[in-house]
Structure 1
Amino acid sequence: MYIVTGYTRGKSSRSFEGMYKDVDDVRDVHETLTLKVRRDLQYFVVTNNEEDLVLWSFDIPGYETHIYSLIKETATLMLCPRIDNSTYLIPDISMLGSLSGVLSRYEYRDVIYFVRPLNREFVMEALREVHGSAMAVIMRMLMSAGRARGAALARLRDKVEYAEELINRALDMWRIKGYEIDASGIKDAIIRVKAVVSGRLGKTNR
């Protein structure tokens, strides 16, 4: 069985799955036994092997825009590429709780698949793209480090340390799964942010 993602908007589930989705089904991904040759679609083979990558998709009843934005921000720092509107690729099942935990206070439905991509380069490109987005977040922290004061500076310290933990864990997981990228730039940027914050906190405590 395959999972198809990508530009499926405007296409009914019947065109991929042979039937319409139920009202309680997650709508962002489709299960299929056949492949359609289209550049705007991406397919993953369902393996049911917990050692493989994880495709996680969710729906929130209603249109909670801020929640989707919060998930996207968290996923960015976890280096989990957004594959579709509310579908993310996670390197290891052990990381899912950190991402799905953002939804803990909300009603939602989700599906989880253990998968392997048919197109490995698609995953590498998606990983490089989310790495670039994470780099942008860290650079914004660097800019904030020069302006923040007092409690805001302490919160920034905690935030960058948390980001560093997430990013390093994700990089290790992607490497173990055979998807390694050059992350020297983002690691250097984190060191710079921590140095600026530490220096300014040191002056404040004198």
Structure 2
Amino acid sequence: MKVLFLASIHGKEGREADYNLIVETLLKSTKEVYSDHVMKYTQSDLDAWTNEKKVVFHKQLLENIKRSDIVVAEVSSQSVSVGYLVSVAIDFGKPTILMYRGNKEPNLLTTLVATDKLQVLRYTKSEDIQKDLPEYIKYAVDKMDVRFNFFISPQIGAYLDWVSKNKRIPRAVYLRRLIEKEMNENRDYAQE
């Protein structure tokens, strides 16, 4: 199982101990954790990058979301970038865990649509991370999508490519939405 860890690089300065503990806890219960984009860089590093390097960095983050089974985001520090990436993860159907320290809910929580794949973990001390995060991961594992492969004609493939390009959504997300719509409208299925 692969987990992507998201957090504010700017906010890392005051929360690095929490970030490290979250990554350590994730490594104990998962196969692989993508965290270098947060843990290896500082805000000064990002500020010094060329626009081209920033684009490559952003594309790599999007690729990591696609490759991940679960996304864990520490959202105590406000970050538009982290909020955007969380929204992308949710749109991709990834089970997502949002974590924050303290009693004040981050603004991001008021902007997201509730789903059974979205969990919020509030913690007040470091021990809460070690105690609660593994349980949240177990729940997220139960919500992971099942992979389903099938053959399509070149004509259908071309249409899905067109949809992906013009609507800017992955082909799998488009197909999933079509099936979910059919499930909601199918009265025979709803009665069971």
TM class by shorter-chain length? under 0.3
**Which of the two has higher C-alpha Rg?**
1
Q: TM-score, normalised by structure 1?
A: 0.24
Greater fraction of residues in strand: 1
Q: TM-score, normalised by structure 2?
A: 0.25
